[in-house]
A = this chain, B = another copy of it.
Amino acid sequence: MSSATLPPARDLSRRRADTLDRLSGGFHMWLATGSDGHGAHLIPVAYVWNGSALTTATFRRSRTVSNLRARPAARLAIGDTADVVLIDAYPVLLDVPTIDVASAEAFAKVSTDPRNAPDTFVYIRLVPKRILAWNSLAEFSGRTLMLDGSWLDTPVD
């Protein structure tokens, strides 16, 4: 691919706005987790975004949950491989009865409702620590939008 064919790269503020639109407009993501001795696991899950964190849920007895208990770190992908949002997130496991009503109601609109089987499911709140976004090779520079949980005002890459 020659650089002449690439669309112009979005600036940081535009990528941040687009990423927030993507987070709030979407409801499916890929969720990767790993732990020592088990390598990487990867599943598709529904999510909702409340402006600062994602909430999802999965089976309490799953590889994803055992990975997160052993190693509290997750890597998420939103969107598609040609318009990428990648998020390194800190996970908090929440027993079903402890979830806030707003998150539970929002999540029930995009997925099976874990409140109907509270012993089977666990909610996972995912707090972004690092966010990357790019939609072409031209955007590989400037792809870091958030570091250490803070949105950047100037590019670092």
Chain A residues engaging chain B, CB cutoff 8 angstroms: 1, 28-30, 32-45, 67, 71, 73-77, 80-82, 84, 86, 112, 137
Contact = CB atoms under 8 A, between A and B. Distances in A.
A30 B81 contact: yes
A75 B28 contact: no
B81 A40 contact: no
Closest 10 CB pairs of A and B: A34-B34, A34-B40, A28-B81, A44-B81, A32-B42, A32-B40, A40-B40, A34-B39, A36-B36, A42-B75
A73 B43 CA distance: 16
Main SS of chain A's interface residues? strand
A40 B43 CA distance: 12
Contacts of A43: 86
Nearest to A113: B1
A48 to B, nearest CB: 14
A29 to B, nearest CB: 7
A3 to B, nearest CB: 11
A44 B84 contact: yes
